[in-house]
Amino acid sequence: MKGNVLGDIRAENDSQMLESAFWESSDYKALLESYDRPIVVGRRGTGKSALAYMLAKHWSSKPKTAIIKISPEEEQVIGLRDIFELFGDNYLHIKAGTKMAWRYAIYMEVITDIATHYKHKKNLDISSIKTHLSTWGSKRQSIATKIRKKLKGVLDHSNSPQSRIADLSDFLELDLLEEVIIEALVKSDIQYVVFADKLDEGYSPDNLGVAIVDGFVQTVIDIKSKLDEKVVAFAFVRDNIYRAISKLDPDFTRNIEGQTLRLHWDEYNLFNLVCNRLRVAFNLDIEKNLRVWDKYAVRELKGREGFRTALKLTLYRPRDILVLLNEAFLRANSKDRAEIILEDIDITAKAISINRLSDLHKEYEYIFPSLDEFTSSFHGSTPEVSLNDSIERVGSILAKDRLDQARQQDIFIFENPKQVLQRLYSVGFIGMYNKQSASFVFCHDGRDPDRDFNGDSRLLIHPCYWLALATTQSELKLDEAEDINDEYDIEVTSISTEQRSQRIEALLQEIAEIPEGKPGAYDFESWCLKSLKIIFAGSLCNIEAHPNKIGLQQRDIVGTNLGETKLWSRIFQDYQTRQVIFEIKNYKDLSATEYRQVGSYLVNDYGNSAFIVTRSSVNDLSKHRELIWAKEMYDTQKKIVIKLSVKFIEKHLRKARSPQKHDAVDKELNSLLDTYVRRYFINKCR
């Protein structure tokens, strides 16, 4: 057995396992569905790099799409500091200068890529940007190195920082580059998607370090609108840097906050992630996840309860659970066992607990410098602490005045112990008991505190820190683990799921207001386009609307089938359908004309299958009309046209609100396809 049986915890070293066992979480699907939230924020170990890798892989397989990856090394970012210092020491000035520099860099990366493409380079107005191309550098050079070289050549060291910033816009000719890019991409009919990861490499928690990342974040947001979505970018940012930006940037609420997706993991998603990796690691052909887990987690770890026992020692992050289980499997192997037991978890838990607490301190050392002082105050306490005891413990730290400057200033900011407890809650160190859910609620996504502490508040130190803090009852025995699970069921707060539900709810309300027939035809088509993008996210790509060239009042929607799920692989193999048609009809009753019309489209890449979306309430075919026409087309041309009701789409929009239902639409469509083949099209022999 290799050391890391479930894969390397660093995504850059884990490509084989990622591609074989990647779990498509709700956050992953949300990023596939739209470009609304291009700033992806997560704490250490939440899978930012894995997401960036798999999203880039997904988009690279889409037609008419090119990707650019930006992943600077530590020394390259450090090298940018001396050149960016020329913008002065005012935070807003530095941000303005770095934003222009990053924008120019991304524009030039796109232009360089187009200029080296055998087909698209003819659409690029090279003559107007010849100087920029000749001075930018080759694709092999890092983007940070090229920025540094470019700014050294254009910034006048004798001018003031304000003059350098004002002159930079003219030197870089950003408006000209935008025009050239849009023209080239429109002519080439392609889109660029940029993925920027590892922005924390070489990061320093000072005004300059924060402004460098802030400038990039602002650039990512601006590019989408400035280039008409012909170029879109995603930036993956660590939570502590994001919160530093929120603290220093006065425009944060207006420009950045609404563009952010916070990564969120819960028990369901982590269990599926682990089982997917177990399946690959041990070459299992077992479909049900619970059976996969039970095959290698035995005795006290068996079942969902056993998984929760292991999960209690983590911060609900992929890295934590993978480290814990990798170590447990390694120990089991040393004992000539293939299965892990609770003892394997116990042995490795203390070292991991110390590392988790150290990670917490490092993560928030800039925005919460005194964090380690406050967490240390709980050393030797009971896991559950009363409000009064907590106030007394943190109060002893507030009374200190002999700490170093950063810690002491941070302590002086607090007006009272309750503010400290709110901060400790916001970083996931303590949880608060919720009477309605009868559980302790922990905040693992770094949001600002929204809990009010009062006299009867019950607080719980997160179990993953118990061993590091030597809390009483800190040895995780089976009976205690069961008590924790029953009474202290850890609920993870999230904001991304709320936003997802709100968006889907708005779509469900919108369809109720669209009239049937000609008056609502275009609104219905628009609604179908948005809805199909959501329910088939990750299955179909490049979904777009096209006018039907035969009838002005009829519309269709087309998506590319890359065969990435079992259903769509079946449709491609059985019916050779690469381009999937959804014919949109804003009325209930279909006639032979609609079936013949759709059938006429099924040539070349459109294969031998298509869908008709109607305002009907059922998918079933009417016996003496639709069934006859669908069967005739199948018998004579071997083409299958499947009717989908608006109720079907509404149903799966509702299911899309829950990550547990991520494959529901594929399962129902697969069953519907079987119904057509087995019941509707069967030729009975007497």
Does residue 273 have a pLDDT over 90?
Answer: yes
Query: Would you state the pLDDT for residue 193?
Result: 96
Query: Would you state the pLDDT for residue 488?
Result: 37
Does residue 241 have a pLDDT over 90?
Answer: no
Of the two residues 194 and 155, the one the predictor is more confident about is 194
Mean pLDDT of the chain: 86
Q: Percent of the chain beyond pLDDT 70?
A: 91
DSSP letter at 620 equals S
Query: Would you state the pLDDT for residue 490?
Result: 46
Q: Determine contact, residues 53/15, Cβ cutoff 8 Å.
A: yes
Q: How confident is the model at residue 670 (pLDDT cuts 50, 70, 90)?
A: very high
pLDDT in tens, 9-54: 888 788 889 999 999 988 998 898 888 899 999 888 889 999 999 9
Does residue 409 have a pLDDT over 80?
Answer: no
Query: Would you state the pLDDT for residue 352?
Result: 80
Query: Would you state the pLDDT for residue 447?
Result: 55
Query: Would you state the pLDDT for residue 661?
Result: 55
For residue 117, give the nearest of 139, 145, 150 by alpha carbon. 139
Q: Which amino acid is at 437?
A: S
Query: Would you state the pLDDT for residue 79?
Result: 85
Beta-bridged to residue 433, according to DSSP, are 440
For residue 397, give the nearest of 357, 355, 363, 368 by alpha carbon. 368
Does residue 614 have a pLDDT over 90?
Answer: yes
Start-to-end CA span in the chain (Å):
60
Does residue 296 have a pLDDT over 90?
Answer: yes
How far, in whole angstroms, is CA 429 from its chain's centroid? 24
Query: Would you state the pLDDT for residue 483?
Result: 35
Q: How confident is the model at residue 309 (pLDDT cuts 50, 70, 90)?
A: confident
Mean pLDDT to the nearest integer, 596-606: 91
Does residue 437 have a pLDDT over 70?
Answer: no
What is the number of alpha carbons within 13 Å of residue 326 lying toward its C-beta?
Answer: 16
Query: Would you state the pLDDT for residue 54?
Result: 94
With H, G, I as helix, E, B as strand and everything else as coil, classify residue 330: helix
Q: Is 245 exposed, middle or buried (0-12, 13-18, 19+ CB in 10 A)?
A: buried
Of the two residues 432 and 439, the one the predictor is more confident about is 432
Phi, psi of 628 (to 5 degrees): -65, -45
Q: How confident is the model at residue 484 (pLDDT cuts 50, 70, 90)?
A: very low
Does residue 174 have a pLDDT over 80?
Answer: yes
CB atoms within 10 A of CB 249: 20
Query: Would you state the pLDDT for residue 400?
Result: 82
Instruction: List the structure tokens of 612.
Output: 């008709």
Helix (H) or strand (E) holding 360: helix 342-363
Lowest mean pLDDT among 214-223, 331-340, 408-417, 588-597: 408-417
- Please state, in angstroms and rounded to a whole number, the distance separating the CA atoms of residues 391 and 670: 58
Mean pLDDT to the nearest integer, 431-441: 75
For residue 422, give the nearest of 435, 409, 432 by alpha carbon. 432
Query: Would you state the pLDDT for residue 313?
Result: 76
Mean pLDDT to the nearest integer, 123-148: 90
Does residue 535 have a pLDDT over 80?
Answer: yes
Q: How confident is the model at residue 477 (pLDDT cuts 50, 70, 90)?
A: very low
Q: How confident is the model at residue 302 (pLDDT cuts 50, 70, 90)?
A: very high
Query: Would you state the pLDDT for residue 571?
Result: 95
Lowest mean pLDDT among 68-82, 186-200, 429-443: 429-443
Does residue 446 have a pLDDT over 60?
Answer: no
Residues 6+ apart with CB under 8 A from 450: none
Q: Residue written as tokens 């002491």?
A: 408
Query: Would you state the pLDDT for residue 445?
Result: 52
Query: Would you state the pLDDT for residue 12?
Result: 78
pTM for the full predicted model: 0.74
Q: Which amino acid is at 668?
A: E
Does residue 660 have a pLDDT over 60?
Answer: no
Does residue 436 have a pLDDT over 90?
Answer: no
Mean pLDDT to the nearest integer, 484-489: 35
Query: Would you state the pLDDT for residue 487?
Result: 33
How far, in whole angstroms, is CA 358 from its chain's centroid? 26
Lowest mean pLDDT among 247-251, 429-433, 539-543, 635-639: 539-543
Instruction: List the structure tokens of 320.
Output: 């934590």
What is the number of alpha carbons within 13 Å of residue 296 lying toward its C-beta?
Answer: 24
Mean pLDDT to the nearest integer, 624-633: 89
* CA 121 to each of CA 110, 179, 187, 322: distance values in angstroms, whole numbers, following the listed order: 11, 15, 10, 45
pLDDT in tens, 490-523: 444 444 445 556 677 888 889 999 999 999 998 9
Mean pLDDT to the nearest integer, 283-302: 93
Helices (DSSP H) in 561-615: which residue ranges? 566-575, 592-601
pLDDT in tens, 560-575: 998 888 999 999 999 9
The DSSP string of 240-269 is HHHHHHHHH-TTHHHHTGGGEEE----HHH
Q: Determine contact, residues 326/455, Cβ cutoff 8 Å.
A: no
Query: Would you state the pLDDT for residue 449?
Result: 54
Query: Would you state the pLDDT for residue 653?
Result: 87
Query: Would you state the pLDDT for residue 11?
Result: 82
